[in-house]
Amino acid sequence: MIFEGIYLNGEINGKGKEYNDDGNLIFEGIYLNGEINGKGRGYNNNGNLIFEGEYLNGEINGKGREYNNSGNLIFEREYLNGEKNRKGREYNNNDNLMVN
């Protein structure tokens, strides 16, 4: 893994990007004392966005959006300590809200 970003006192602090060994961007976000804190985005190996959301102490906390491998929105939900916290919204492949 390759990291590009700002270090302060030996810890990642501020905006940062992580790349896999092939040089493809797999994550970008805000770091505080070496942990993801704030908004972040995860990507698959094809460069498509697969997740965007809020992080606290390295775990997903708050609102998050999940995307399929083609980049289409499939879920919106709340997270707490890295776990799905509330019932969310599910979308079809055309980004339209599905009704159950």
Domains and CATH numbers, the chain: 2-90 (2.20.110.10)
Give me the half-sphere count of Cα atoms (radius 13 Å) on the Cβ side of residue 52: 7
User: Do residues 34 and 11 lie in contact, with contact meaning Cβ atoms separated by under 8 Å?
Assistant: yes
Whether residue 16 contacts residue 7, with contact meaning beta carbons closer than 8 Å, is answered with no
Contact present, 89 and 76 (Cβ < 8 Å): yes
Give the pLDDT mean for 6-22. 91
Q: What mean pLDDT value characterizes the chain?
A: 89
Q: Band of the pLDDT at 95, cuts 50, 70, 90?
A: low
pTM, to two decimals: 0.82
pLDDT tier for residue 94 given thresholds of 50, 70 and 90: low
Is the pLDDT score of 86 beyond 80? no
Residue 71 has pLDDT above 70, yes or no: yes
- Burial readout 36-53 (b: 16 or more C-beta within 10 A, e: otherwise): bbeebbbbbeeeeebbbb
